[in-house]
Amino acid sequence: MNEKLVYVDGREVKIENEKNLLEIIRKANIEVPTFCYHSDLSVYGACRLCMVDIEGRGLSPSCSTPPEAGMKLKTNTEEIREIRKTIVELLLANHDSNCPGCPKSTACQLQSLSKKLGVGEVKFKKIETKQPVDRSTRSIVRDPNKCVLCGDCVRVCSEVQGVGAIDFAHRGSKVSVLPSFGKDLSEVECVLCGQCVRVCPTGALSVKSEIDEVFKALGDKNKMVVAQIAPAVRVALGEMFGYEPGTAVTGQIVGALKHIGFHKVFDTSFTADLTVIEEAEEFLARFNKGENLPLITSCCPGWVKYAEQYHPQILPHLSSCKSPQQMFGSLAKEFLAKLYNIEPKDLVVVSIMPCTAKKFEAKRDEFKHGEVYEVDHVISTYELAQMIEESGLNFKKTHPESFDMPFGFKTGAGIIFGNSGGVTEAVLRYVDEKITGKKSDSYEYKAVRAGNGLKEFSAEINGVKINMAVVNGLANAKKAVESVKKGEKDYHFIEIMACPGGCIGGGGQPAPEEDSTNAMRTRGLYDNDKMLQLHKPQQNPYIEELYKNFLVSPGSAKAHKLLHTKYHSRRRITEDSLALINAGDIKKIKVSVCVGTSCYLRGAQDLLHRLIKYIEENGMSGAVEVKASFCFEQCSKGPSITIEDTVINHCDFETACKAINSRLDKMKTSVA
């Protein structure tokens, strides 16, 4: 028997396809510290904390050294301990050490390492220069003063997501991690997926908190505050309180939220069931007509923003369905407000999500009606744990409670939405019975359950072949989309989630301590599905009742108004804009919005801001100029705008955009 062995601190460890010595050492149950190593990212070797002493070679970084038979190494010599302490002290000297006020204080790897290595007084002079904190996005806060230059955020954004919104800049002592040209995150192509937050070992990148706003709403006696809980939250929150990853703590979450003061607690899995039905019907309609195929899922806001920025040509292929979060918000403000006899503005909807991009999604213009958003606040799994602790609750001793009806009942189809492949499997559970016209007890489609990456398969139902793909990680999404654009693949249905593993690996989830964490969360959701009595969305009696008494039928006019939406290009510089710019000295289209008192009261201010944002996001700033104006003397007909010499009365956002685009089309024609 010729086993290949490495000797770690005198103990034999067998080599079994490990990529590096660090994996060998961890297999020996020795935890060598590291900042910059993640098994799903390239090896960077920047922090040098994982140095080991290899006999005959001296000190080497274990993360980048492949194992060789017969190697003898030591992981804990006096020299190694001193090196690690010195590295940590240097990091602390270059680090904002306001730990009590840091959002990652209890989960900071630098803080944890300082304690483990016995670092007391820092011998090096602290750098006093403070850099501004970037709070420009709705989802992520970037604090360069807490950055340890590990490069984890850079690599995950580039390698896993294929976006590259953040990178190293400058050299020597001035090296830093920045968005392009030193801009704020809101000014670059960040999709707000939060994967950088997930891998950041310190508080340099953190979730933008809405905890204070939620507590304020809970304290307002004129407001009714309701919560919705996403599927992936229930199998991850427990990690913050000592449970194993994948442990479902649903009842305790509901109990904690009601103790904190939420009036009602509902399950986003209910509207996930609803999303399946609407999306499956939309797919079948397209499939039967052979139009706009493949249908691509739209429940992941990180993916949707990515598509809008990088692949606007693919937008007609996106499902028009809102995400389960937004379906819930829309129904809450319309259906629940009437049920509880309350004004929509006084019904505060709080989403508890595993995702940072959901914060951005909730504040999209498409989901705002007058001054009322469908979803008022989004808090991450991490923020929920903070709220529970801030409320003084002992989570492990919290008595479990049940969801409120009618939006608290779900089937297994809604639960598995939190996993990559879950949306596709849920759609198949509906489509199978729809095509065959027969009810079936079988419900599992294990072939669609994906690991990290891109998975292709075909489902044959009653002689009908459906080609599908399940994708997670935006770098993989790019591959799938490019293959569709080039006509290389004949997909009918594509599920895309921005985060590795799906929502269970979202940027708002607790940072995984082990490589197996995501797999355990995934298993937790599938186990949850098995324990339910119903597994198909069409079996949900409350969904059936909702259609019967309120929505009429899937795809009805009422359903489209409340449950569907449209997406638009967010390319900052479009091909059309470049054509106009390259044409030379062009005269800008002048757009004026009257903000006089009468028009202001009719929503002119909101219209002005939306138009400015629309022009900027669609790369039209070089061709269109929008400004406020007084007064068109048509006060009874407001809001009023002028586009060049044309006055449009009773103008809304969609009408204004259509008129501006029409003018642009004429300009392009004249340039051509």
**What's the angle, vertex CA 427, arms to CA 352 and CA 422, rounded to 5?**
50
Give yes or no: 358 in active site: yes
Q: How confident is the model at residue 2, as a pLDDT?
A: 60
Instruction: Verify that 341 and 482 share a domain, yes or no.
Output: yes
Of 23, 89, 239, 279, which is the active-site residue? 279
Query: Does residue 22 lie within any of the structural domains?
Result: yes
Question: Does residue 394 share a domain with residue 465?
Answer: yes
Q: Is 299 among the catalytic positions?
A: yes
The reply to whether 478 and 581 lie within a common domain is no
Which of 282, 308, 374, 383 is the catalytic position?
282
Same domain, 370 and 235: yes
The answer, yes or no, to whether residue 368 has pLDDT greater than 50, is yes
Percent of the chain at pLDDT > 90 equals 48
Q: Residue 132: which CATH number?
A: 3.30.70.20
Domain membership of residue 568 (yes or no) is: no
Give me the mean pLDDT over the 170-188 stretch. Answer: 85
Q: How many residues does the chain have?
A: 672
Render pLDDT for 14-27 as a digit per residue (tens, 0 to 9).
888 888 888 888 88
On whether both 107 and 221 belong to a single domain, the answer is no
Q: Is 62 a catalytic residue?
A: no
Q: Looking at the structure, do residues 401 and 462 belong to the same domain, yes or no?
A: yes
Amino acid at 444: E
Share of the chain above pLDDT 70, in %: 95
Please give the radius of gyration of the chain, using alpha carbons only, rounded to the nearest integer. Answer: 27
What average pLDDT does the structure give for the chain?
Answer: 87
* Tens digits of residue pLDDT in 467-503: 999 999 999 999 999 998 888 888 999 999 999 999 9
Confirm whether 404 is domain-assigned: yes
Q: Is 366 a catalytic residue?
A: yes
Query: Does residue 319 carry a catalytic annotation?
Result: yes
The H-or-E segment that residue 353 falls in is strand 347-353
Q: Is 87 helix (H, G, I), strand (E, B) or coil?
A: helix
Give me the mean pLDDT over the 413-430 stretch: 92
Any idea what the CATH number is for the domain that residue 471 is in? Answer: 3.40.50.1780
Are 148 and 198 found together in one domain? yes
Q: Which of 18, 366, 433, 616 is catalytic?
A: 366
Q: Output the CA–CA distances (angstroms, integers) from residue 52 to 30, 48, 64, 83, in the order listed.
A: 12, 10, 11, 11
**pLDDT at 423 (0 to 100):** 93
The residues near 516 (Cβ < 8 Å, ≥ 6 apart) are: 245
90: helix, strand or coil: helix
Show the domain range for 622. Answer: 575-671
pLDDT category at 516 given cuts 50, 70, 90 is confident
Instruction: Select the more confidently predicted residue: 34 or 267.
Output: 267
- Assigned domain for 619 exists: yes
Q: Using an 8 Å Cβ cutoff, are 222 and 346 in contact?
A: yes
Residue 426 lies in a domain: yes
- Through-space distance between the first and last CA atoms of the chain, rounded to whole angstroms: 76
Q: Total domain count for the chain?
A: 4
Mean pLDDT of 41-46: 75
Which pLDDT does position 1 carry in this prediction?
47
Query: Is 165 within a domain?
Result: yes
Assign 229 a pLDDT band (cuts: 50, 70, 90): very high
Q: Mean per-residue pLDDT for 578-600?
A: 70
Residues 332 and 416 in one domain: yes
One of 158, 298, 319, 380 is an active-site residue; which one?
319
If asked whether residues 349 and 462 sit together in one domain, one would say yes
Do residues 582 and 446 both lie within one domain?
Answer: no
- The domain boundary, picked from 76, 96, 111, lies at 76
Q: What is the DSSP string of 44-70?
A: ---S-TTEEEETTTEEEEGGG----TT
Q: Is residue 82 part of a domain?
A: no
Q: Among the options 47, 503, 594, 651, which is catalytic? A: 503
| Residues 573-592 as b or e (16 or more Cβ within 10 Å = b) | eeebbeebeeeeeeeebebb
Residues 499 and 354 in one domain: yes
Domain boundary residue, one of 19, 45, 76: 76
Distance CA 472, CA 419 (A): 10
Quick one: which H or E segment has residue 599? helix 597-601
pLDDT grade, residue 596 (50/70/90)? confident
Contacts of residue 426, Cβ cutoff 8 Å, sequence gap at least 6: 272, 276, 413, 414, 416, 417, 537
Same domain, 435 and 372: yes
Mutual angle of helices 301-310 and 474-485, in 10-degree steps:
50
Q: Are 492 and 294 in contact (CB under 8 A)?
A: yes
CA-CA distance, 473 to 470, in Å (whole number)?
10
Please report which confidence band the pLDDT of residue 141 belongs to, taking 50, 70 and 90 as the band edges. Answer: very high
Catalytic residue among 281, 361, 383, 495: 361
